[in-house]
Amino acid sequence: LEIKTSTLILSGSRFRVLSKKDVNVSVGESECRVTDIGENLVCELPSEEELKEKNVGPTYPVVVYVGEKGAGLIFNVGSITFYIEPTKESSLTLYVTAASVAVALLLVIIVVLACLYRKKQKRQKEYQALYQVKMDRIESSYARECKEAFAGYMTGVSDLTNDVANLKLPPLHFHQYAMRVLYPGLVHHPILEGDKDESEEWKSAMHSFIKLMKEQDFTLTFIRTLESQSSFQMTDRCTVASLLMVAMQDDLRFATSILTMLLLDLIQKAGNGKHPKLLLRRTESVAEKLLTNWLAYTLHDFLEGHVGQKLFKLFSAINIHLEKQPIDAITSEAKNSLSEDKFLRQTIEFKTIVLNIEYICEGTSKKYEGISVLTCDTISQTKEKIIKHIYKDFPYREWPNVEELSLGFASANGAVLVLQDEDTTNDISGEWKRLNTLEHYKVPDHSNLRLAPAPVTPPYEYGSAAQLLSTSFQTSHASSPLLNVKENPQEHKLWHMVKCTEYPQEHIEDQRNSKSMNQNIATEVFLTRLLKTKETLQSFVNDLFNSIFGLENGVRTIPLAVKFLFDFLDTEANKLDIKDNEVHHIWKNNSLPLRFWINIIKNPNFCFDVKKSNTVDSCLSVIAQLFMDSCSPDEHKLGMESPSNKLLYAKEIPEYKKIVKKFYEDVRLANFNKTEFEQFLDQVSQKYGKKDSFNSLNAASELMMYAVKYKVKIVDNLEREGLERYAEDLQKIMESMPDD
């Protein structure tokens, strides 16, 4: 307790029973004289000087004695300290000390902050230096890409013109072409096989059914009945349309009459509806698929004589142009793609080299020199380029299978060092395995390689890439092939130039803004290459479009089938009092370009015996879309957000629209001779309706299955239409058929 007065007051209880003489209080060794006792005990403290003489301060114990000192009660109350008033000198010292401590602390804080700032500045300078290096690298890549694209643009057109000039056209036989239009994707079908049943009863029944199908009223009722059934699905409609075409292939006059009657049903429905422009937009009826098939037959000669050569040159030019730059073997993305969806955005280092090949086939050896390949090509890509060079004048069906051939170096003693996409030398990182390339094997320019059938147990050697190309081949023993087949083929994901997860199409925008962009050039920079590819192929596209619209050397050729179809559509539109010329235009678009030419442009393999890769397919899709945009009467408003394929052809589309409009006008003004058209149909029937084209009896048998399935409905509708005779004939045919 700190004391500031000369009186000490002690609190307690039962003080009233005591008198002053009963209580003694000592402070240290001195006595504190009791002056009052009541509620509290009050005593007068000795002077400070007295206390200092008798005690060692500054703290003094306080003891209360009740009764005789030494014989009564003793209470140790506590200790007291006298308050000392500070002097001016001591206050100043205290202030100076506090200020010194504060200044020292502030200096420490300043030093720490300065160190942190210096460290931050140093880190920022390092980051800026690294960032500048990366920016310089990207800028250099930008410049290189732009320069390469410009150089390629300036030299590419003449190169392709020369490359495709002497290529030999590999056309398909008519039945192969027709099969791909009638049944896309199907290789086996009853119409390609012999008679299902060799019995005379079956053949007689099928001939009778075909004869019945040649009755217009029966066939129309048959088709309309089928289409009115809820269980008659979309695939059934397409199947029946194709079967009808085969069954009627020897009488295209009749097929044409059936087609026009079915189209009248659709036109009437479209004219009475709110959206007449939707006529023939889709393939939702037998008539729409039958129209496609009819065009395939009636336009085949025009396709073969006027369009085929131009289409094949465009297809070949796309192939050649694509292969001049890297193509990813896994994703099918390419540097020279015309499609942004299949555009290779990764910067790829490569060189063009030439190979000298010894090709061994059927025991004979032949040498081919100067075959151009890229160092970034996989081994399979290299083999395919070699095969293309050797078999360029042969149809694709005569090409050997790349998987059945081996490519490698042959030593003097006969041992072969084989190059493969997968072997023990593949670069493996985590779950990814990279396909081997010519660069991986360090294959030099002008190398001599051997391409030969791959034996079942070849005397291959394997080792490092350097060992494979050693100039002195030491073959002390034969070993297993390079291909390292794992028990679990899913153990590693294969990649070539780009891992398939690097550029997912649905996240292109995210990829543009991602941190990885400091290692990859922005997508927009590569759009110059799309322009280069477009300009390189433009002359071939122009030639194709002109040939489709019958223009050659300024002379217009209008196919009779097109004249008949367009006149029919115009006539029926006028009957419905449709005065909007845009509706007339759209009907023609939906019937010819959309239904036939788009299919041919996208699928040259329908007309030629060629292989169409995914990359080529993406380029052809862009050109097909260009063709459709050119036919459309709508004006396309283009801006920064427009698709790249529309921006690429922004200049050409208006010119193509003029060509289309002029073609439609010329067709309208051309004279139509019905007799000449019927003679044309007869010629096509005789030429392509031969028995060795498709098996019409099997086609009739397939149609009979639908007749049996919906027999009750068909017979009811025939009787309702007053065609009881046909109903009886149908039932007789069914009864005459042999039991399965």
pLDDT at 426 over 50: yes
Cβ of 10: how many Cβ atoms within 10 Å?
19
Mean pLDDT of 622-633: 94
Per-residue pLDDT, 26: 87
Mean pLDDT of 106-119: 93
Summarised one tens digit per residue, pLDDT across range 315-373 is 999 999 999 999 999 999 999 999 989 999 888 899 999 999 999 998 899 999 999 99
pLDDT at 99 over 80: yes
Closest CA to 327 of 525, 171, 496: 496
pLDDT at 88 over 80: no
CATH of domain 352-444: 3.10.20.90
Per-residue pLDDT, 587: 95
β-sheet with 432-434: strand ranges across: 428-429, 432-434, 493-495
Per-residue pLDDT, 517: 43
DSSP labels, 492-505: SEEESSS-TTTS-G
Contact 497, 326 (CB under 8 A): yes
Per-residue pLDDT, 532: 86
Closest CA to 419 of 367, 377, 370: 377
Mean pLDDT of 593-610: 95
Mean pLDDT of 280-286: 89
Summarised one tens digit per residue, pLDDT across range 400-425 is 999 999 999 977 666 678 999 999 99
Between residues 97 and 309, which one has the greater pLDDT?
309
Q: Which residue has the tokens 């009050």?
A: 42
Closest CA to 664 of 603, 588, 565, 717: 588
Instruction: Look up residue 689 and give its two tokens.
Output: 């309706």
pLDDT at 496 over 70: yes
pLDDT at 85 over 70: no
Element (H, E) at 362: none
Per-residue pLDDT, 690: 72
pLDDT at 508 over 80: no
Per-residue pLDDT, 465: 40
Strands (E), 233-336: none
Mean pLDDT of 163-167: 86
Mean pLDDT of 118-145: 82
Per-residue pLDDT, 490: 56
Which one of 2.40.50.140, 2.60.40.1730, 3.40.50.740, 2.60.40.10 gives the CATH number of domain 2-81? 2.60.40.10
Maximum average pLDDT range among 354-368, 468-482, 631-645, 688-702: 354-368
Per-residue pLDDT, 487: 41
Maximum average pLDDT range among 11-15, 81-85, 88-92, 292-296: 292-296
pLDDT at 551 over 50: yes
Q: What does the buried/exposed string (b/e) look like for 55-75 if buried means 16 or more CB atoms within 10 Å of the residue's CB?
A: beeeebebbbbeeeeeeeeee
pLDDT at 218 over 80: yes
pLDDT at 740 over 50: yes
Per-residue pLDDT, 417: 86
Per-residue pLDDT, 152: 59
Instruction: Look up residue 110 and give its two tokens.
Output: 């300043």
Q: Which residue has the tokens 């072997």?
A: 423
Per-residue pLDDT, 86: 62
Query: What is residue 453's three-state secondary structure?
Result: strand
Maximum average pLDDT range among 149-153, 197-201, 442-446: 442-446
Summarised one tens digit per residue, pLDDT across range 442-458 is 999 999 999 999 875 54
Q: HEC states along 536-585?
A: HHHHHHHHHHHHHCCEECCEECCCHHHHHHHHHHHHHHHHCCCCCHHHHH
Res. 691 pLDDT band, cuts 50 70 90 = low
Mean pLDDT of 465-486: 38
The one-letter amino acid code at 376 reads C
Summarised one tens digit per residue, pLDDT across range 355-365 is 999 999 988 99
Res. 3 pLDDT band, cuts 50 70 90 = low
Question: In this predicted structure, which of 155-164, 401-410, 630-639 has the lowest mean pLDDT?
Answer: 155-164
Mean residue pLDDT across the chain: 85
Per-residue pLDDT, 273: 74
pLDDT at 511 over 80: no
Mean pLDDT of 268-276: 84
Closest CA to 379 of 318, 316, 443, 432: 443
Res. 7 pLDDT band, cuts 50 70 90 = confident
Per-residue pLDDT, 410: 79
Res. 158 pLDDT band, cuts 50 70 90 = low
Q: What is the pTM of this model?
A: 0.76
Mean pLDDT of 704-717: 96
Summarised one tens digit per residue, pLDDT across range 576-590 is 988 889 999 999 999
Closest CA to 190 of 685, 689, 697, 690: 697
Maximum average pLDDT range among 61-70, 178-187, 485-494, 663-672: 663-672
Per-residue pLDDT, 476: 32
Maximum average pLDDT range among 88-102, 118-132, 237-251: 237-251
What are the boundaries of each domain within the chain? 2-81, 95-160, 352-444
Per-residue pLDDT, 459: 47
Res. 620 pLDDT band, cuts 50 70 90 = very high
pLDDT at 536 over 60: yes
d(CA 592, CA 590): 6
Contact 420, 379 (CB under 8 A): yes
Maximum average pLDDT range among 180-189, 462-471, 561-570, 638-647: 561-570
Per-residue pLDDT, 2: 60
DSSP labels, 688-712: H--TTTS-HHHHHHHHHHHHHHTHH
Contact 298, 311 (CB under 8 A): no
